Amino acid sequence: MAKYYRKTIPYVIENYIPDCGRPYTHVSNTSYRGQVRVFCYRLTDIRQLTTGRHGSVLYELLKHRFDQSVGVYFYRLANDDSPFIKIGECSSRPITERFRRGWDLNGVRNTDSYIYRQTKNSTTDKQKHKPLYRALRTISSKSPAYFTFYEMVTEEAAPKADEFVAVEKHIQHFGTSTVSPHRLPNYPTGVELVWHRLAFDEVLQRTFPSGTPYP
C-alpha cells in the first residue's frame, strides 16, 4: 500500500483492491493489487483547483502520473453532512484532461467547464457561474472540501457504471442529487461492470478502502 503525506500539501494516495471480482473474465480482484490508486486532496483554497501551480491538484495528479488514468471522482465538503457537490466519471479522457477542461486550465473556456454557464447575456453571479464553482469558491482552512479520485484499469473498467451506482446511492442516502445537478442515464446499471461499488460509501465516511481516514 503506497501512501504519500505532505505537511504543506494535504493529499494522500493509496493503492487499493477493487471489490469487483470480475467473475465474467475469471479474474480475481486481487490480481489488480498495486495497479490502481485512490487520490484524495483536502481543498482549502479555490486556487488549488483553478491553477496548475506547484502543489495544486492538477500539479499533483501529473506528478504522480495520473495523466492516463480513467475512473470516478467526487467533490464534497469536509465538515458537512450535506449532499455531495459533484460525482463524475472520466473514461473518454484521462482525469488530468477532464480536470483541465473543467477548471479552464487549457487556455480556453470549454462547454463542459465547471465554472461558467454557456450564456451570452448573464448578468448575475448565479447566471454566470455553475453550482459546483459557487459551492467551492468559499472553501478555506476552516471550511475545507475534498476531491477524491478512484483510478481504474482502462481495459477492464466502465467508469460510467460506477458513476451511475454512486449517484443512485447518493440519492438513496440524501434523498436528492448532488449540488451540481446530475441526470441519471436511461439504461440499466450493468452490475457486472461496476469496478468498486463501495466508492460512495467510503467517500461518505471520509475513509480510504483500507480504513485510513482522510487527511
In this structure, is residue 51 part of a structural domain?
yes
In this structure, is residue 187 part of a structural domain?
yes
In this structure, is residue 1 part of a structural domain?
no
Q: Which domain holds residue 114?
A: 11-205
In this structure, is residue 3 part of a structural domain?
no
> CB-based contacts of 203: which residues, under 8 Å, 6+ apart?
74, 76, 84, 146, 148
Number of domains in the chain: 1
Q: Tell me whether strands 37-43 and 11-15 are parallel, antiparallel or unpaired.
A: antiparallel
CA angle, 197 as apex, 194 and 200 as ends, to 5°? 130
**What is the grid cell recorded at 67?**
495523466
Q: What is the CA radius of gyration of the chain?
A: 17
- 98-152 pLDDT, tens digit per residue, is 999 999 998 777 788 898 876 666 555 555 888 899 999 989 999 999 999 999 9
| Contact (CB, 8 A) for 196 and 19 | yes
Whole-prediction pTM = 0.87
Question: How far apart, in whole angstroms, are the C-alpha atoms of residue 173 and residue 53?
Answer: 36
